[in-house]
Structure 1
């Protein structure tokens, strides 16, 4: 029997990542993953954004091992524990207070789709309205409420029933600058005869991680925030993938200078890949009755431990932010060098959530496959997988970053041919 035969025999066909990366992985450290056949892979995927600080970061690993050996509580639902207390204090002191953010913290369940579901439910409860507006090419999760505000048709088709009480509106630059983005929405919300009901909330990603790496301009985010405030619509920012430093600042919306009503966090909030999610809500919106939204695995104390260690180690001052932004610029420059060699290729995204969109929609998938053969894990994004999506750990070194970009460049040359000299100047 082959080493992967049990997966084919027993596991559901719904699995996806292993089809593109069929290695059987055994160990990992930092930005490297190691397979049982002896090969090593540079990781430009970082657990789909759940491993912002890399694999098995020693500071977080030591905190976790020490806690587990101490006999500390592992599972506690929403009961008080010392580790939850320490996490909340640290989150307040390291993240909320320095940014002058006044949020209550809700633990909705351990995943990104849990925090989105809780945000949508709360918005409807508080406002008494049913409808939610979301954006073209958005992705917010795989459960029914989150799917209803997701744009991807393939993922929506998996619901098996109509996804109602939501509508899609154009994301920033959807019309390539030809139409004022909020002109229609502003008009119908102001017109009592428009027949368009005021929504409970608008949910948005500052960078559309799964939708093609479109990044909203700060001025667009500010205009959206002002529109919501003017019409008493709650603004929900889904920072599940773009948050926890992936765009440079801890929250992806900091660059725009806005304060959302509700913020969804998950993926890297535990710092170690352990399941954990937060829903941040303005205090006056904290209107769920006790137990009205709950979940068995809200109190995952090992995640509180590693989350606290991550906040203390990386976010005690601005040093880490500066390093992330510097490395992010290096990544953008490297990808731009590749894109400049191919007609119509453009760099998209922000920070460590950046990629290349190719006019040939099959190119990104083929380049990703060729990169895997060269020892790099990199995925694709967009409705047609037309964007090569790089998402390294924020702790990656300059040398590792350069190695990964060099692999992508070699893979692009294999798939698309040699880059065209002088094309960058023509662009």
Structure 2
């Protein structure tokens, strides 16, 4: 039996590429000076293809550098964990690893305090990369991280702080971490939890860190079998959401029970009077057998946490299958108007078209941009036209596979003309396999 994660458009690419002066259809906005980066699993050699799980593949960062209306370069580089460096026959860059948890970070890539950081979770620290995507080594913010880190951070655009919630199977707590705009860890809070829950994401408002304690937990039975992802659905674990005051301690967390569900990704959250509003994508069930088969499809939800009644109103805003929610990063923790998701029947080659969605939360409407069959549309990332421009004034960027070329384009859309002709298509010389998350990282100068 073959492994679908190793075949077709989702299969790994075999080599690293550097290409310069990329061809472009359309016109790259000259104000876009920086790098579009995206991380995802790209396994380097598989000893047992049947045991491979997409969530655990070696990370590879793909990047396009834009400057002065040109696409200066495309690079794809494996994150050099110790194992990847050995397989490539290279010296490991070395660095501060936590609890022997070392892996090629494969989930996200961000810029913060002038650094480029590849992220994953479950006790693994970030890997720092150079501007040109060479691996510099594991990074603990100059000794500030007590343990591992997370795949999903939230930057407060008002303060410049980077917020995170980290988990690790060896802890009986999860850890809330705040890093200031200069890259110094200023605050850690250990929040007690039971059963070792997975916490892939969280939410942030101006008042609270919103913690999802949901029924996917560490599974010792799976761990004994050698499973690389020893987490599974746990019917005995009460689903709940916690509000930790951003300047409070663990004793001030307030918990609210939920109907059982799973959340991989938050769109955004904000405070509104005596409520906290959280927009996210929700799975009714996930990892029921420790894998991705047989699970329910994700829908777009709004959770309104009422501080007076102690209850959570869970509403489905759009029941179409969709994931990878994003907003303009400048409104994280503030009330947003627009959000983006991607809809697809499957990550595999299914012969179905794919859709990128833009929701207007003020009007309750959704625009749908349909792509050709097998386009493998990636997560949409918003890039503002200027630092002080309004929320919708900017560009939506994503990698989109072109089956006719058997290669990928970087698609640049006008956010205000979401379904219109693309502003530009940057034609990459290779396929970018479907992956997870990325960022627009503007140049600092």
**Please, what TM-score do these two structures have when normalized by structure 1?**
0.29
Q: Greater relative contact order: 1 or 2 (C-alpha under 8 angstroms, separation 6 or more)? A: 1
Which structure has the greater CA radius of gyration?
1
